Amino acid sequence: MNKPLFPDVVVNGQIIPSTAIAAETQNHEGPRDKPGIAWRKAANALAVRALLLQEAARRGIDPDPQEVGPGQTETEDEALIRGLLEAAIDVPAPSEETIRLEWERDPTRFRAPPLWEAAHILVACDPRQEDIRDIAEKRARDLAAKVIAKPKSFAHVAKENSDCSSRGEGGFLGQLGPGDTVPEFEAVLRRLNVGEITAEPVLSRFGWHIIRLDAAAEGVPLPYDAVRPRIAEAMEKAAWTVGARDFIAELAAAAEISGAELRTG
């Protein structure tokens, strides 16, 4: 008999049915023309989950669900896995020497947030509505062509055409820092040169933007004492990730698993 294309997963005798794996695939990315990739990711994820829950049961971990957000509490399984990992993984705090050495590798990596001054023209639309989005894009491209041809007309074009309240200021948005705009807008600010206008309209959840960067100030490097807590936290998280990966690899190496591929080396 031929093996099924998408088999059940079995972890130490515990069967994870293909229906559960199929439901889990929605949480994993993969090319549409290669559904097997998302399936394997889902199978592996559920196999790891089963391993951890089995080990939590073996150790007699008691679930203690905690609040993880407003109105959101861990499930019992999530609490068991968290409790197991807290018990199994011991990450020592990095020493002062290693923290300082990490900073000294390149102190310029740790800077105050950059600041930008920018203006924009917004052609508002719901990007999920394809027909409306396309009409708005054509209008945005026409406006972009106007201000690219005559940059000094930007404020006038913004006042006459922008769908943003900043049109009253000629599209000027004032001083902006990281997180003050949507990610698509900020990404453009980070790559534009001062005085430059986007030749192509930029799409965000608000619609199409034509953006001009008026000024930019790169954040100054921060002193060691200011960034030490951030470096220490990042080092602890990295060490914890390695510890969790090694712990799961140990469980997988000692387990009998079929239908999933958990690398142990």
Instruction: Out of 30-34, 78-82, 260-264, give the one with best mean pLDDT.
Output: 78-82
Averaged pLDDT for residues 225-238? 96
- Tell me the average pLDDT of the chain: 92
**131-165 burial, b for 16+ CB within 10 Å, e for fewer?**
eebeebbeebbebbebbeeeeeebbebbeebbebe
Instruction: Note whether 158 and 121 are within 8 A (CB).
Output: yes
Give the pLDDT confidence of 138-162 residue by residue, as tens digits: 999 999 999 999 999 999 999 999 9
Instruction: Note whether 79 and 65 are within 8 A (CB).
Output: yes
**For tokens 């947030």, what's the residue?**
113
Instruction: Note whether 155 and 226 are within 8 A (CB).
Output: no
Q: Is the pLDDT of residue 69 over 90?
A: no
Q: Is the pLDDT of residue 2 over 70?
A: no
Q: pLDDT category, 119, cuts 50, 70, 90?
A: very high
**For tokens 């001062």, what's the residue?**
194
Q: pLDDT category, 240, cuts 50, 70, 90?
A: very high
Angle of CA points 44, 253, 248, to nearest 5°: 55
- State the alpha helices, DSSP H only, in the chain: 18-24, 35-59, 76-88, 96-105, 130-149, 154-161, 183-191, 224-253
Give the integer Cα–Cα distance in Å for 139 and 11.
Answer: 57
How high is the pLDDT of residue 4? Answer: 55
Query: 60-69, long-range: CB within 8 Å, 24+ apart, which pairs?
Result: 61/87
Give the pLDDT confidence of 21-60 residue by residue, as tens digits: 989 988 988 777 777 788 899 999 999 999 999 999 999 9
5 vs 118, residue with greater confidence:
118
